[in-house]
Structure 1
């Protein structure tokens, strides 16, 4: 041992050796085995399946016939709204139905909580570059911003109406021609849902967890 190290107290040498040992252990620590990673991924998939297995009300051809008559009949029906939301998710435009539902929920909000909820809706869906920004013109966006200053149940009426019209003239028409709607419109072969029907119901149920309900 060199004189420099020999001159150090024994306690210092021991501490230095302990630190060296700990660093070496950390450097040699192996990554989690692939089996553990795969197991964690399987657990995540199981959690998703639990959500998909949530049962929704049976959708009959009579109901889907009503949905074809008007967009209002579709969006005001619980199952219709869930089915349409599932379709929008496939088109990566689900923020539109989320915003519409949020506005409906907002109208039921107690007065003392209205300001906070209005601000949250604006920051989530309307403000430029917001997380779930909907497609609104700048005039409507700014008018809605001003409405927040004197917040009431009509705060989002103009913005909600614009998004409703956008969905009605665009996404709704494609939804009526979609495979999802055609499958839902098929009459059941017997009293037991077939595999295809179960698949469609799970697809709708999977997304419906994201939609708030309203009175």
Structure 2
């Protein structure tokens, strides 16, 4: 039975947060995230400049981007900070962590039993079960607790799993993001934009 295999695979994967293919060059990754953060970085086209002018109030300032380095909470509470972190996680092939964390945040907002059951089962299918399309790395006991709660889920059914995934991101992906070229470029872009607005 597949469930019997879960403890072995979970233990082996418990301390990793990303799958890193060895054949993807750094330059290819950089181009990938550069394309994806085009809406955050200043570009020269008049259309983009017009878009920036209209949306200046919600674009990240240099202060915003600097604050993202204070904590993962600060980063995730900012719309563009979270978007940039998602792009970074995609470049490292571990976006399932932020997607699961976001799904958990959404899950807690549901109040009706029917909605909770439906959402809990779809989250299990997408993130929890063995070989799920976006399977996250959880230990057997945490997975098992979720399975046991699927018939009568509560707002806290995924709380333990969410904490573990948050901890993985906080201790692994988040420090890499803060020291990444992507983050440095976002800081530079926000500073340039700030100078452009003042001049």
Any stretches of 5+ residues in structure 2 without a counterpart? Answer: 1-34, 40-47
Q: Residues of 2 paired with 1:108 and 1:114: CA distance?
A: 9
| 1:191 counterpart SS class | helix
Larger Rg: 1
Q: Residues of 2 paired with 1:181 and 1:147: CA distance?
A: 39
Structure-1-length-normalised TM-score: 0.62
Q: Name 2:196's counterpart in structure 1.
A: 190
Equivalent of 1:152 in 146, 151, 154 = 154
1:149 is displaced (CA, Å) by 2.9
Q: Note the alpha carbon deviations across 1:124-182, whole angstroms, 9 max, x for none.
A: 00111001001111111111111223211001000000000000000000000111111
Q: Residues of 1 paired with 2:61 and 2:78: CA distance?
A: 13
For residues 41-190 of structure 1, the aligned pairs below 5 Å read: 57-111=58-112, 112-186=114-188, 187-188=191-192, 189-190=195-196
* Runs of 4+ residues over 2 Å off in structure 1: 52-57
| 1:69 counterpart SS class | coil
Q: Name 1:17's counterpart in structure 2.
A: none
Q: Is the 8 A contact 1:125 1:132 kept in 2?
A: yes
Q: Residues of 1 paired with 2:150 and 2:159: CA distance?
A: 12
Q: Residues of 2 paired with 1:83 and 1:91: CA distance?
A: 13
For residues 29-44 of structure 1, the aligned pairs below 5 Å read: none
Q: Residues of 2 paired with 1:148 and 1:154: CA distance?
A: 12
Q: Name 2:27's counterpart in structure 1.
A: none
Residues matched between the structures, number:
142
RMSD: 2.0
Q: Is the 8 A contact 1:60 1:184 kept in 2?
A: no
| 2:197 counterpart SS class | coil
Q: Residues of 2 paired with 1:135 and 1:79: CA distance?
A: 26
